[in-house]
Structure 1
């Protein structure tokens, strides 16, 4: 026997908070009791995906160097520090251009996270990386771009599948997402009585 916990939602018409009880959830709707409103709020049935799905994934995406498609760098779940240092999660070659390498030792951070609502991985890119002391964020010397647009120092952006990440203004990489198969997703689906953040 499941125990229903009362929840507050915003009325779709007046915007004021109303309490959803077990009977409302079973019926699938609730009438706003605020004076002068009376709107019927339909409660959307919803679901999310169990985050434990990431434990069984064979891969988490990869970066492919556009200068040589044979150079492929696999990603891990969580924070990936990208640079030329041997302490980086994704250690890049020192690509030389007229005797210079434009990629910093700890150039950028690409974080792979799981979105429990869509059931897919998300990729967040940021210039620079947190120092080994875990306290200070050091930015790259020559900057990071996503699809030719420079990232601001404190900016964290989502990278779409096949997005082009350029480090130091010279060396570019294509990000390939790992797409979780729908058959696998179905086994990690968690049904919700209703989604309190979404009313119709």
Structure 2
């Protein structure tokens, strides 16, 4: 435990005989997850083809596909008479990182089937910036990355960045941790 006098001074002096080393006490904090309730947006997917359609994202799980059971129902983009996007093609999950105060975007190919509760991969695969996702892989997706569904239809993922002034109001100071000294 950090004594009140040490916390006030901002350092701890080692009490071992002859040591006298000074350790600086660092304050720790995290951000309150309630911040997500007031956000105006959670980012978007923008189709890079002719239509230029945009699809706003939701906090939590976003199942992307052509089915009306998908959270994000994309248009059926037809190439030579075929659509290469599956009905429930991939899942983009948006979470809040309480340590950085930013949203994180996790992508996986396929989606959980509502009937069987088992994960079903897409028929034609999902790529991020030209790299094919493995069927069991979940990856973090960077801002402005290109997500390709079915090998043909490309979307730009745009993250929502929480403004620093808003983050400051949701900062929660944590008690001093003796393991967090310099």
Q: TM-score, normalised by structure 2?
A: 0.87
The CA RMSD measured in Å over matched residues stands at 2.5
| 2:50 aligned residue | 68
Cα distance change of structure 1 residues 196 and 93 upon mapping to structure 2, 3 Å threshold: farther
1:173 to 130, 152, 155: 155
Higher RCO (CA-CA < 8 Å; seq separation 6+): 2
Map residues 148-187 of structure 1 onto 2, 5 A cutoff: 148-187=130-169
Single out whichever of 128-137 and 113-122 deviates more from structure 2. Answer: 128-137
| Aligned mates of 1:30, 1:153 — CA distance in 2 | 54
| Aligned mates of 1:131, 1:30 — CA distance in 2 | 59
Contact 2:48 2:155 in 1 (8 A): yes
Q: Give runs of ≥4 in structure 1 deviating > 3 Å.
A: 27-33, 38-43, 194-200
| Aligned mates of 2:120, 2:86 — CA distance in 1 | 10
Q: TM-score, normalised by structure 1?
A: 0.80
Contact 1:32 1:40 in 2 (8 A): no
Query: What secondary structure sits across from 1:22 in the alignment?
Result: coil
Contact 2:55 2:72 in 1 (8 A): yes
Contact 2:143 2:157 in 1 (8 A): yes
**Is residue 76 of structure 2 the alignment partner of residue 94 of structure 1?**
yes
**Is residue 15 of structure 2 the alignment partner of residue 22 of structure 1?**
no
Unaligned runs of 5+ in 1: 1-20
Unaligned runs of 5+ in 2: none
Superposition deviation, residue 23 in structure 1: 2.1
